[in-house]
Amino acid sequence: MARVTLTAMLCLMTLTGCARPRQGDVAAIAEQYSHRHQGECSSWLYSYATQFPYCASPKIDVELELIPVVKEAEPEGAETLADLRTRGEKVYGTVCAACHQADGKGVEGTYPPLAGSGAFYGDAQNMSRIIVHGLNGEIVVQGKTFNGAMPPQGHLSDYEIAAVATFVRTSFGNDDGIVKKADVAAVR
């Protein structure tokens, strides 16, 4: 069997754009790999690049195992401002910052600013309702119109929603106090 250079084999297998291997190299590679699958192949595929059929990977029986998602445990006495802000900052960074930005200033015309918006002052359930159920349609914040859609985040726990709502209501120049789990539970 002819010895095939590694370069020729890589060019053939990955089609990286280097010069096409010589037909002799292609034939040698085909010969080398034709004996890999002893017996019948249940699924033949055709490579337009090499002009050769090849056996698709045979089915491998595996045992599927579900891996449980580990959620961060809610700390005892977690409804203090410090605890809610700490957890809320993590949730905000993971769930909210992509749209509303890390600084809470949003994106012009699409995602409203949370910094000094006034939309979350007063009733603690207002922001919880928006987080749980989402918000669609045109809104005006700080005299500017926004027409993005906020998807519902009801998959978050009451504690996580209370934490992120508290974080936003007490960050970015906002000073509106904490949201409790009971406030979130009331709007679900």
Question: Options 1.20.58.100, 3.30.470.20, 3.30.479.10, 1.10.760.10; which CATH number does 81-187 get?
Answer: 1.10.760.10
Mention every residue, 6+ apart, whose C-beta is less than 8 A from residue 147: 109, 110, 137, 138, 139
CB neighbours (10 Å) of residue 183? 21
What are the structure tokens assigned to 71, written together? 């959620």
What are the structure tokens assigned to 134, written together? 């989402």
Alpha carbon distance 180, 161 (integer Å): 9
The pLDDT of residue 10: 47
Low-confidence ranges of the chain (pLDDT < 70): 1-44, 46-78, 118-122
Domain extents for the chain? 6-55, 81-187
The pLDDT of residue 125: 85
The pLDDT of residue 153: 93
Alpha carbon distance 128, 77 (integer Å): 20
The pLDDT of residue 84: 93
